[in-house]
Structure 1
Amino acid sequence: MAFIKYALPVLAAAQAVFAADCGDGDTITISSQSDLDSYNTCETLDGDVEIASSVSGAVTINGVQRIKGALTCTGGANITSFSAPTLETIDDAFHLDGLTSLTSLDAPELTSVGEIDFTAIPILQSLGFSVTSASSVSIVNTGLTSLSGISLTAVGSFIITDNTQLETVDVNSLKNATNLINFAGNYDQLEISLPNLASGTNLTIRNVSTVSIPSLTKLEGQLGFWGNSFSSLSAPNLTETGDLVLEDNSRLSNLSLPVLETVNGGFLITRNDELNTISFPKLATVTGAIDFSGGFDSASLPSLQNVRGGFNMQSTGNFSCETFDSWKDNTIHGTYKCEAETSDPTTSDGSSGSSTTTSGSDSSTTDDAGVLTAANLPVMGAAAIFGVLAQFAL
């Protein structure tokens, strides 16, 4: 009995020490591989894990299955590989920034992450995990050639920018996004396939060669396409969106949105020089302004009943303004202008409506266009006006 009397406090103290070794909710700072090795017996690390920028070479997390916090490394320029063979869950962010020598990322059991946030990892070509749950994804300035390893059904924001080797984006499982989806500044022949995306908030796409959104039915916010090289764009099931922008898509010749009924904001089509026919057979309501300019020969909006903002339609092509003229006192509630066979079509703010003309004060080009992010996404709605809409050309 005496032995038990003294042994129990010793065992309790030993357990407390062991628990503390696996974290107590505070930040766990890793300054060397030997620091990481001291946690090999921990299935769970309780707290954020920060890998110091001074760490170099191969980094391996053994034994750990869960990190109850974030896993972060900022500025680890001499880390060449990262491995976590048993890691399944990171409760908070998986944040890597400035790992300019990283060539290998291997976490084969990792499926659940609070956020994926990778920036400035220029020679990493592949993702060695299979994440099926993440609240947001931001991948900026990496050497990735695909997004294989990310298989989400729902996400908040999905930001993929400045990955110049990224050739394909095939996120087959994604059905809904509650914040911005943005692709910009990646490989200029990037092919994007979002076959099951049905709804979301904002979808903005720049500098891609192919985009497939066959299941998209509704966006709460903006749908925008700038400076792309695809010749055809189709959204066969889209019925409603916020602001709708198509600008500087120089090869676009076939545009099909056959069931689009409502644009909750402004609607801009400009500088799409190969687009000869504009037709939206079901479009009934635009709560902002309509602003179409270019070289089209045909413009058909047979179901249009209400444009709460202004109306600007100008083209070098030969089409009739007769129907639109009859709407200017009833259907169209803002400033009205329609001109066919004009040599110098412009948007409502005077910017050139065609890349072959030089009118107005237009200074936007595809080459110097900025990246649209959640921070600078324009906010528009029922009060959208021509001048604001035209500024979407960043």
Structure 2
Amino acid sequence: MTPRHFAGSRFSYSPTKGGKDLKATNSSKLRVDIDSPGKRRGPFQELAMGPPGGPAVCSAKSPRTMGFFKYALPALMATQAVFAADDCGSGKTISIESQGDADKYSSCKTLKGDVEVSEHINGDLNINGVEQITGSFTVDGANNLSSLAASSLSSIGDTFKLNGLTTLTTLSFGSLNKVGTVKWAALPQLQNLDFNKGITEADDVTITNTGLTNLDGISLKTVGTFDITENLSLKTVNVNNLKNASGLINFAGNMDSLEIELPNLAGGSNMTFRNVSSVSVPSLKELTGQLGFWGDKFKSFAAPNLTETGDLVFNDNKNLANISMSKLTKVNGGFQIARNNKLGEINFPDLETVTGAIDFSGKFDEAKLPSLKNVRGGFNMQSTGNFSCSAFKKLEEDKTIRGKYECSGNKAHPTTKDGSSGASGTSSGSGSSSSSSEGASAMNVANMPAMGLAAVFGALVQYAL
């Protein structure tokens, strides 16, 4: 007869006519005794529980045997359910040291707990069948791992950590869209991501020292920290769907020709850019923290909709010739423009308030701040250009500028507020200044960065007896 399989179970049986033996086709066998033809009590052969992934197929031939199955199978199925739950994790760390280890979990849709892949694994590793990991997923130091894939995995509850995978060339997670934290470092051979669906949710993303040429597959809508550093092959970053970042957005030490597109980013906290060739933030309206640019290669920067930010810094951007921020009204912190030698004109037409210090130095001929009403910190403006201080002197006299005031044009060696060189290729110098009381708020230009199996079978044996 055709074996019967029980839904949700790995057990089946094949009742046949006549006979006395129960034959098991799988392993993990338990020997019990029941009545059989011609004997008061005889061997009932073997009852088997199959390994994960395959049913135990048994044959039974006597009415007593059938009665046994009537009560045994529900208990066995319940026990197997317990074992299946244990097989899929119980909140503890699941260790994977080989493809065989990974395959043990292929019937699990959810792995409960953290998953750690051994540093000794090599070649290709495929995590098949699993759709969710409730904890973290870590591969650390597996420098012989060349390919890592999990085609069904859609969610990692905690950290997705990859570190020191020096030969990894393929990272394929076609269904992944939600991660607690992305933390990748030292993946020098990884050039592209095979993330068809794309990660749309992550609390924090840190990617450093990889061979990635782009971040296609990182399709965030919101993020906390977005820290992208030391990726020397990274050419483009286009995160079209990102609308808000609650933590630091930082790009530093990547390829000098890196182009960054954040077309729908409307708000955030701190944003810092170092050594990039372009930054596009056309929708940016407000930052609660710092917006800073150091050593960048672009010729112009525009934030046409930005109205308010924390510290605002443009420092040592040698090609920068134009800054356009026509709607900026308030800087909640310090405002520094220094060592941007091609910047001939500074113009912030709607700027009204700077709660820290204004510190402009360089080779500019004009500085226009026509709407300025309140500078709570100091004021330092020095230029080698043919620059007049008359408009700002008036602001100092009527106490619009509350802190220490210094302004000089045609200065051979302009300096920043802290005395360092204010123009590239010049040495530090000093000049005359007039002063009032120092403002309480000064500029900060730093980068803010079960049931037991024995019990069940004991009950079954008692029934058989």
TM-score (norm 2): 0.78
Partner AA of 2:160 in structure 1: F
**Cα distance, 1:41 vs. partner?**
1.1
- Cα–Cα, structure 1 residues 186 and 384, in superposed 2: closer, same or farther, change >3 Å? farther
Output the CA distance in 1 between the equivalents of 2:245 and 2:73: 56
Q: Does 1:256 align with 2:324?
A: yes
Picking from 134, 137, 141, the partner of 1:68 is 134
Amino acid at match of 2:339: R
Aligned to 2:47: none
How far apart are 1:31 and its partner, in Å?
1.2
Residue number in structure 1 paired with 2:17: none
Contact (CA 8 Å) 2:242, 2:265: kept in 1 or not? yes
1:137 deviation in Å?
0.9
Instruction: Report the CA distance between 1:110 and its aligned residue.
Output: 1.2
Matches within 5 A, 1:27-38: 27-38=93-104
Residue 15 (str. 1) matches residue 72 (str. 2): no
Q: Please list, as runs of the form range in 1=range in 2, the aligned pairs for 1:359-374 lying within 5 A after superposition.
A: 359=428
In terms of mean alpha carbon deviation, does 338-347 or 122-131 score higher? 122-131
Deviation at 1:115, TM superposition (A): 1.5
Residue 151 of structure 1 aligns to a residue whose secondary structure is strand
Equivalent-residue separation in structure 2 for 1:300 and 1:7 (angstroms): 86
**Of 257, 266, 269, the match for 2:337:** 269
Matched, 1:84 2:84: no
Gaps of 5+ in 2: 1-66, 431-438, 450-465
- CA distance in 1 between counterparts of 2:145 and 2:307 reads 48
- Counterpart-to-counterpart distance in 1, 2:408 and 2:400: 18
Q: Percent identity?
A: 55
Query: Which segment is superposed worse, 108-117 or 306-315?
Result: 108-117
**Residue pairs, 1:114-133, within 5 angstroms:** 114-129=180-195, 130-133=198-201
Rg larger in structure: 2
RMSD: 1.7
Q: Does 1:111 align with 2:180?
A: no
Q: 2:268 aligns to what?
A: 200
Whether 1:339 and 2:339 are equivalent positions in the alignment is no
Q: Secondary structure at the match of 2:202?
A: coil
- Does the 8 A contact of 1:247 with 1:393 survive in 2? no
Shift of 1:296: 0.2
SS of residue matched to 1:119: strand
Q: How far apart are 1:87 and its partner, in Å?
A: 1.3
Give the match for residue 236 of structure 1: 304
Q: Which amino acid aligns with 2:418?
A: D
Q: Does 1:325 align with 2:393?
A: yes
Alignment partners' CA distance in 2, 1:392 and 1:128:
33
* Other-structure match for 2:160: 94
Q: Given that residues 122 and 142 in structure 2 are in contact (C-alpha distance below 8 angstroms), is that contact kept between their aligned partners in structure 1?
A: yes
Runs of 4 or more above 4 Å deviation:
391-394
In the alignment, structure 1 segments of 5+ residues that lack a partner are 362-381
Give the letter for the 2:412 counterpart. Answer: S
Q: How many residue pairs end up in the alignment? A: 372
Equivalent residue, structure 2, for 1:222: 290
Deviation at 1:52, TM superposition (A): 1.1
User: Residue 419 of structure 2 aligns with which residue?
Assistant: 350
**1:49 aligned to 2:118?**
no
Change (3 A) 1:360 1:5: farther
TM-score of the pair, normalised by structure 1 = 0.92
Residue 287 (structure 1) shift: 0.3
Deviation at 1:10, TM superposition (A): 2.4
Equivalent AA in structure 2 for residue 272 of structure 1:
N
2:106 to 40, 43, 49: 40
CA distance in 1, matches of 2:77, 2:305: 65
Distance in 1 (alpha carbons) for counterparts of 2:336 and 2:204: 29
Counterpart-to-counterpart distance in 2, 1:383 and 1:269: 21
**Cα distance between partner residues in 2 of 1:383 and 1:48:** 49
Residue 126 of structure 1 deviates from its aligned partner by 0.7
Question: Which has the higher mean CA deviation after the structures are superposed, 48-57 or 285-294?
Answer: 48-57
Does the Cα contact within 8 Å between 2:413 and 2:429 map onto a contact in 1?
A: no
Q: Distance in 2 between matches of 1:19 and 1:187?
A: 47
Distance 1:116 1:122 in 2: 17
